[in-house]
């Protein structure tokens, strides 16, 4: 039995790249998929592939940055397939620039597509699931968010993207803590895979190129899709509030911010004394991973 039989998912940005891979893998596991993308032609190609392979899928062109438009994605899922169980927030863009040169428009675009884009459809879906729960119906729902190593540890030349992806990781923790009472889990994944965004730089395109032989395709986006499909399945209902990394055949759990034991004077530190505390704190510190590109 396929692990997503009878379940319905909205996958954003599913007209290409990781989103298209997720849509195909979800459909192959029995999921009915709403392929959301502002590029209708690209979304239709993915839907046609899924249907030709015997799966269920429809196109949705809701603008994930527009709250009213996003409601149509949830409506289309319920109208077409009778229910909704999964929102997979995948859509994204890049506007890379060193911070000193970044424009307001480049900042705002990333915040709209990534951070607000992770809010809009999820908000409408949560309203639907909360209503179901309050009506006494069993809910087994999933929010799956897409963060990035850039958001977990920073990335030179991507301060807008890093800030948005860090926000998504924190959003995931809040969603998990608040929504479990309604039968909703929330997890995030930081993927590393071959997509149009990651191969835009020639060096990355060469590094992530598909092997010419039949060996394991380390950077294939479907490698990430397998983890997401499992997180979307009924089997994962006990897993929430986690941030995972997926690269090749490796799956990791990200260990987030934690308070250390600290240095406690038991009284107010005089400004001149703080240096002593800082020396002790830094001696005890476990260094963070380096910022990408540094």
Residue 165 annotated among the catalytic residues of the structure: yes
Which residues pair with residue 233 across a beta bridge?
A: none
Tokens of residue 53, six digits: 């392979």
Find the catalytic residue in 148, 155, 236, 246.
148
- Tokens at 207, concatenated: 């590094």
The one catalytic residue among 128, 161, 225, 246: 161
Measured between alpha carbons, how far is 63 from 70 in angstroms, rounded to an integer? 6
Which whole-number Å values give the CA distances from 221 to 20, 23, 33, 216, 217, in the listed order?
Answer: 9, 11, 18, 12, 9
**Closest to 143 measured CA to CA, from 238, 247, 232:** 232
Catalytic residue among 70, 122, 155, 165: 165
Q: Is there a catalytic annotation at residue 148?
A: yes
Strands of the 86-88 sheet, one edge to the other: 56-60, 32-36, 8-12, 86-88, 141-146, 184-192, 243-247, 250-253
Catalytic, 116? Answer no
The residue among 181, 172, 178 whose CA lies nearest residue 139 is: 181
| Residues designated as active site | 148, 161, 165
């Amino acid at each position: 039995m396929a692990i997503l039989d009878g379940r319905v998912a909205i996958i954003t940005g599913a007209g290409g790249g990781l989103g298209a891979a997720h849509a195909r893998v979800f459909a192959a596991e029995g999921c009915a998929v709403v392929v959301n993308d502002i590029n209708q032609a690209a979304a239709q190609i993915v839907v046609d592939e899924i249907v030709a392979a015997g799966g269920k899928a429809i196109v949705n062109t809701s603008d994930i940055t527009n709250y009213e438009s996003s409601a149509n994605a949830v409506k289309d899922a319920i109208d077409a397939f009778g229910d909704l169980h999964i929102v997979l927030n995948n859509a994204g863009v890049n506007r890379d620039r060193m911070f000193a040169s970044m424009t307001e428009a480049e900042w705002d675009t990333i915040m709209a597509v990534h951070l607000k884009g992770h809010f809009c459809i999820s908000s409408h879906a949560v309203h639907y699931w909360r209503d179901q729960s309050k009506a006494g119906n069993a809910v087994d729902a999933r929010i799956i968010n897409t963060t990035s190593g850039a958001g977990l540890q920073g990335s030179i030349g991507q301060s807008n993207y890093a800030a948005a992806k860090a926000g998504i990781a924190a959003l995931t923790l809040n969603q998990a803590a608040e929504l479990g009472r309604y039968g909703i889990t929330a997890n995030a994944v930081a993927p590393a895979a071959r997509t149009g965004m990651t191969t835009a730089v020639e060096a990355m395109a060469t590094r992530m190129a598909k092997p010419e032989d039949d060996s394991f395709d380390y950077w294939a986006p479907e490698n990430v899709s397998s983890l997401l499909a499992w997180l979307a399945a009924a089997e994962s209902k006990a897993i929430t509030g986690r941030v995972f990394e997926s690269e090749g055949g490796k799956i990791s759990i990200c260990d987030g911010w934690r308070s250390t034991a600290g240095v406690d004077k038991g009284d107010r530190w005089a400004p001149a004394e703080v240096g002593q505390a800082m020396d002790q704190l830094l001696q005890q510190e476990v260094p963070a991973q380096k910022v990408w590109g540094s």
